[in-house]
Amino acid sequence: MKQIWQVCLKDLKVELRSRIVIFQVLPFAVLTIILFAFAFEADRAALRDYAPGLFWVTVLLATFLFVLRSFSIEVEAGAIQSLRLSAVKPQYIFFGKALALFIGMFILEVILGVATFFLYDVSVESPSLLIVSAILTTAAIASAATLYGILSANLKARETILPLLMLPVLIPVFLGAIRAFDDALGAVAVNGWAWLSVLGVFAFIYAVFGSFAFGEILEEVE
Amino acid sequence: MSYIGYVLAGWLSTFLAFATYIFFVLRRGRSYSAKVPEARRRWIDSGSENKGSNND
Amino acid sequence: MNLSTGSYRTKILGLVMAASFIALIIFAFWVSPNDDQQGGAVRLLYIHVPLAISTYVCYIACGIASLVFLIKKKIWWDYIALSTAEIGTIFCGLTLLTGAIWGRPIWNTWWEWGDVRLVTTLILFLLFLGYLALRAMPSSNPNANVRRAAVVAIVATIDIPIINRSVEWWQNRTLHQRSTLVELKIEDWTFFTLVLGFLAFGLLIIWLTIHRFRVAWLAGEIDSLETELALKKRLEESNI
């Protein structure tokens, strides 16, 4: 447990120093939200209705950038190499990294959520559902993204391979997150709570499988 | 037979795709085979059953 | 010199396969009757349904082979995974294509977002395109690439039921779900033709996998031969 936390803290420190989230990913995400508003010709009703989907598309794109950047920094700095040589178990490294990614993504989602709230003029019907589903979704995305991040970390064409591998896999999460938000924002009359099970199962599978596969891949990363 | 155009389009495109794929797999196999000594191509048996065939 | 990837057994297999496909064509176009509702379009199902089943067979085989590869570390299994993934993706693309062609006259649309299987198959297609793209990447460390690919294939296979479930729930929003499996009336010849289709496609999978496997094997041999050659050269140079 302590080791997980150490790996996570180390990642967060790198994050704070490089400021990728604040200066690169977040502006991009907000820009995307604004572009969607133009695409819908600033139609208030449409934006309010489709806010959940647009929000999560933006989050997925931002995740992709975030993972790409943070893992390439890691490879360039040779940090993975030193982690592998350290005595920390691969499983712990996986969970530490996923946790760090989770925290970074969650902060990003909160800021992006506030921006969406004001720009798209949405109202929140069920704050508890909103928060629980966001946490579960972020956990699912973070565990899948950590696995694919390390997987593509030292490939030459990682910019193109990573989204091709990661985005189709995240479609169930994407659907679930949209439906849960639909309910939480009162956009569509669906039972959002039911979707939490899909998100939970997905997060669980990826956390378990990812932690095992991580060791398998880590052995080979230079 | 109704919808004959659709049916033919479906069947023909499927068989065309198969033929193209099979062609490329077999051609690749041939060009790779040329680079590998016969002893290391395991499916080639002692040769008695291949005699006379496939010398093209 | 014999350069073919075929052997005596695969040639016999190939002949049986070709014969079964000819029989399938005869039965699909001349023997089996028109469907009451779909008319002649039912004849598309004799390839569409076997294609779809074959896709899933190939993908599940790929997932299993990848898992065994990670456990046993025998490159043999990786070749099977690669072969079945490639063949499965061709089947998958054709499934989508023949489905669209069938949907146009029957559903009056090329693409139906309300259909679970359609959407699931499309996502699956994209997943394995990613897998094949990963496999096609040149890598300085082939060993690492192979393991990565195995992990991706296993994840993709595990995802099949999850994707199916989530898509099914997702499109329940409108509450009128279109039934996908058109009620095929199991008349004698219709059923027989369908079974014949499964047989022909089953043989095709085996035949294709054997040949594709051998190509993968040859590629691996060429790699190791090159390494041996380079090593020999290096040794000779160092001796002088």
Query: For residue A218, which amino acid is it?
Result: L
Tell me if A151 and C148 make a contact (CB, 8 A cut-off): yes
Q: How many CB pairs under 8 A join A and C?
A: 84
End-to-end CA separation in angstroms for chain B:
43
DSSP state, C191? Answer: H
Exposure class string for A204-220: b at 16+ Cβ within 10 A, else e:
ebbbebbbebbeebbeb
Distance from the Cα of B46 to chain C's closest Cα (Å) equals 11
Residue C93 has a pLDDT of 95
Distance from the Cα of C46 to chain B's closest Cα (Å) equals 9
- What pLDDT digit, counting tens, does each position of C55-91 carry? 999 999 999 999 999 998 888 899 999 999 999 999 9
Q: Hey, where are the domains in chain C? A: 9-174+187-227
Residue C122 has a pLDDT of 92
For C9-174+187-227, CATH number out of 2.60.310, 1.20.120, 3.40.50, 1.10.10 equals 1.20.120
Tell me which chain C residue has its CA closest to the CA of residue A144: C155
Residue B45 has a pLDDT of 57
Distance from the Cα of C158 to chain A's closest Cα (Å) equals 9
- What pLDDT digit, counting tens, does each position of C107-144 carry? 888 887 777 788 889 999 999 999 999 988 877 677 77
The predicted complex's ipTM stands at: 0.84
Is residue C175 scored above 60 in pLDDT? no
Phi, psi values for residue C39, rounded to 5°: 65, -135
Is residue C183 scored above 70 in pLDDT? no
Residue A221 has a pLDDT of 55
Q: How far, in Å, CA of C109 to CA of C81, rounded? A: 35
Cβ proximity of A158 and C129 under 8 Å = no
Pick from B46, B20, B22, B43: nearest CA to C218: B43
Q: How far, in Å, CA of A188 to CA of A184, rounded? A: 9
Instruction: State the best of B13, B31, B33 to mutate against chain C, taking most chain C CBs within 10 Å.
Output: B33
- CB within 8 A of C137, min separation 6: which ones? A155, A156, A157, A161, C145
Residue B12 has a pLDDT of 94
Is residue B47 scored above 50 in pLDDT? no
Neighbours of A (≥3 Cβ pairs closer than 8 A)? C
- Which residues from B are below 8 Å from C5, CB to CB? 25-26, 29-30, 33, 43
As a 3-state breakdown, chain C gives helix, strand, coil percent values, each rounded to 5, of 80, 0, 20
pLDDT, averaged across chain C: 85
Report percent pLDDT > 70 for chain A.
96
Q: How many CB pairs under 8 A join B and C?
A: 121
Tell me if A165 and C159 make a contact (CB, 8 A cut-off): no
The pLDDT confidence band at residue B28, using thresholds 50, 70 and 90, is very high
